[in-house]
A and B are shown apart, each in its own frame.
Chain A
Amino acid sequence: MIATGQLIFSVAIFLFCFGALTFFTKRSAVVALMGIELMLNGVNLVLVQAGQIYKNAEGTSLVLFVTLVAAAEAALALSIFVILYRKYGTLTLENFRSLKG
């Protein structure tokens, strides 16, 4: 029988790896951003659990900062997506190659 800490860490690893897979393989920019949110969510889980194991408040305090940065990032990225969609008519990542040398 596994302990609760191991279960929580396993869930966090699954969330992080599925988020990374989503970010690597999806062609839509919005879904790739969802992958980043999944990865941040897994990191939050690890922070809370590690804070409880090591008995200090740093972990749970960091979670609030991570949440705040994620919210700011999502708001900015989604407004950038709206502008990209107006300009190019698509959100498929392969079409944005104006920076390709």
Chain B
Amino acid sequence: MNQATDLIAGAPTVFMWVASFFAIFFALIVFVSSNPISCAVALMGTLFSTAALYFSLGNFFVGAIQILVYAGAIAVLFVFIVMLLDLKPQKLKNLPGRLPHFLFSGLVAGLLALFLFRTIDLVPKATEDSSASILSATQYAQYFLSQYQVPFQAAGLLVFGAILGAIVLARGHLGKKEHS
């Protein structure tokens, strides 16, 4: 029984409880709030709480990537778009007409949660050293250049295509002739 085993099979620490509580709380705010800017800020809170969970699991590299890419790039992009387009809070218009929609969505999500919670007990407990799964940046580089070489190249192609698509979309004269 070493420290890495205690991290999985042992009881969670107070830090983990706090981070879990904030992750779920901010996710609830994303769902409940009608103001897009508070949704974006709550999403950022969830991302930071999840990064704290990664840190408490000992997975520091993934936590750093989570903060840098998710909270640093994606969430800031959301805040930027909401402020650029000046999106107003949306009131729940014609709620009676949308009530079946809400009920059906809640039913689907609730059944999904129920089903997933029943599968938790099927997961085996970690009994031995689980630190083999915690990679450092060097090990990530070695994996991506040997075992996962093809997916890594494909991911690079995907990012290249996304950059090209974003540039074409942002220039704004799609399907039109140049005027000057």
Are B74 and A4 neighbours in the complex by a CB distance under 8 Å? no
Q: 0/1 per residue, B83-98, Cβ < 8 Å to A?
A: 0110100100000000
Q: Does more than half of chain B's interface fall in helix, strand or loop, or is it mixed?
A: helix
In which size bucket is the chain B interface? Answer: 35 or more
Which residue of the partner chain, among B8, B20, B70, B128, contacts A11 with CB atoms under 8 Å? B20
Task: Check A9/B43 contact, CB under 8 A, given A55-B130, A82-B84.
Answer: no
B117 touching A31 by the CB < 8 A rule?
no
Could you tell me the distance in whole angstroms from the C-beta of B15 to the nearest C-beta in chain A?
11
Contact of A35 among B30, B74, B110 (CB under 8 A): B30
In the complex the two chains form, is A76's CB within 8 Å of B9's CB? Answer: no
The residue that B109 contacts in the complex, of A5, A10, A20, A68, with Cβ under 8 A, is A20
Give the chain B neighbours of A2 by CB distance below 8 A.
11-12
Q: Which residues of A contact B (CB under 8 A)?
A: 1-11, 13-22, 24-25, 27-28, 30-31, 33-35, 37-38, 41, 44-45, 48-57, 59-61, 63-65, 67-76, 78-83, 85-86, 91-92
